[in-house]
Structure 1
Amino acid sequence: MLGKLMRKKPIVQEVTMSDQIALLKSRKIPAHVAIIMDGNGRWAKQRNLPRVAGHHEGMKTVRKITRTASDLGIKVLTLYAFSTENWKRPKVEIDFLMKLPGEFLSTYLPELIEQNVKVEMIGNFSMLPDHTKDAIRKAMEATADNNGMTLNFAMNYGSRRELVESVQKIASLVAKGQLAIEDIDELEIESHLMTAHLPEPDLLIRTSGEVRLSNFMLWQLAYAELSFTDVLWPDFDELCMFEAIKDFQSRIRRFGSVEGEKEA
C-alpha cells in the first residue's frame, strides 16, 4: 500500500513592522505630518464609558504614532491636541484634557529623550493652567538639544487667531516704519506664523470620519495632501499610519502646475 504523499506546508514570510517601515522609507516620506486627532468621545460612547476615558485611550495612541513617525524618519509631527474652540466643552472634560499633557509627558518623557525627539508647542501658552504649562515647559527644556523628530503639540491653537496675530505684528512694523507696505508678501506673513521655523505639512490626517479642517493650520495646509479615515483616534494604530503614508506616496503633487511627480 502506497503511503500518503506528504505535502510540505508553504513557508509563509511574515511581514514585520520593521519590514513595512523599511519599504515605506525606500520611497519619499513626508517631512511634516499633521494630525487632527478626532473621535475620542465617540470611542468612549460606543463602550458606554465617560468621554474622558476616550481621551485617556487617545493618549496611548499619541505614544504609538509618535514612535512610528520617528521610526519612519518623519521630521515633524504636529498633533492638534486642544483648539481655541475646545474651551466651550464641559469644565470637567476641559480639566481632564489639561491634565493629560502632564500625565503623558511625565510617563513618556524618558522614552522621547531616548528616541531623540524634540517637544515643541504652538498656540496661546499664557491661557493654559499652570500645571499644564509646567509640564510642557519641562518637556521642551529637557528635549531642547534633541535633533531627531519634532513632536509639535497644537495646544489652545486656532489658525484664524494665528493669522490675526501675524497681521498685527506686520501692521506694527509698518506703523514703526520698519516695513514698507509693498514689501508685505507671503514670506513676510509666514515669518510671523507660529510655525515659521517648521516646514509646511506635506500630509494632513484626520480620524473619525469628519472631513473638515476645524480651524487648523489654514495657511500652512494650502498644498498639503489630505487623508481622512473613519477610524477613531484611539483605534488609529501603526497600520493605519502606514496606509496613510502609502496613499501619500501614490499621489501626484502638482502645487498648481500642470506637471507633477509622484512622491515615490
Structure 2
Amino acid sequence: MKQFRRQTLWTGIILTLLCCTQAVALDKHEVVRKATAAYYSLERQGLTSFNCTVVPDWQEFFEQQLEGYDDPATRSRIGKIRFSVSLDQSGMLDLTPYREGGGTISGSSAYMANKLGELLSGFFQMVQMNVIKTPFSILENDFTLTDKKEEYLITMDDSEATSEITMTRDYLITEILIRIKNPQTAETIFWPKFDSTGQGLLLSRLTTIRNDGQFMSTWDLKYSKTGGLQLPASVVIKNTEKGKTVRLKVDFDNCKAAQKQK
C-alpha cells in the first residue's frame, strides 16, 4: 500500500511538472505581450502623426572630399536641398524635396535629392516600425518562440523570408536576422541599441550588415521632447562599402505632433 502511494505521489508530481512546463513553453503570446510593454511606443503615447523639416548637414558631407562634389556651384545647389516630411501611425509617409529659397531642383541636385529621399524613406520606415510602434508589431499569430535558457528566439517563416528576433530574458533585443528567399538567399543582420526611458526602451542606434559584411550601415538617433513625446531630433548615418565610409548628419527641425484627445 505504501509503495502504491509513493508511486501515485511521484506520478502526480511528474504530471504536474509536465503540465507546467508545457504551459510555459506554449505561452508565446504572453512573452511577446510583456516584451512589447517593455518598449517605448509613440503610438501608445497617443501620437497620430508628426511632421518636420529635414535639414542635411551638407557642409560636413562635402568635407569628406567625395569625387564629383568639389565644384563650388554644385555644392551651392545641393546645399539648398531640404525635405518636408510627415509620417502617421499607420506608416503613411509624405516626403517632399524642395529648394531652400525657392526654385526647381534639377541636374546633379535632383540626383542627390532622389538618393537622399530613398535613404530617408528607409529611415522613416524604421522609425515607424521601431519607435512609433515596437519591433514586435510585425509579428502575426504564426510565429514560434524558443526558450534558449539565457535568451528567447522568435522565428517567423513565410514564402518570402525567414525572420528571427533574439532577445534576452528581460526582453532586450540583441539581434534581428532576415533571410530573403527569392530570387536568391540574401541575409541582413540588424544590431539595435536601446536606451532606457521612464516609458520603455527607446531605439538609439541601429547597425545593419548585408552581403556577408561587405556593406555596413549605422544610424545613430537623438530625440527631443515635443508635447511630451520623444520625436527624432537628428540622425547620423554612416555607410561603409568596400572599405569606403560616407557620413551624413540630418537634423529634423520644427517638428510638430498630432495626438489623440485624452
Q: TM-score, normalised by structure 1?
A: 0.23
Considering only CA atoms, is the larger Rg found in Structure 1 or Structure 2?
2
Higher share of residues assigned strand: 2
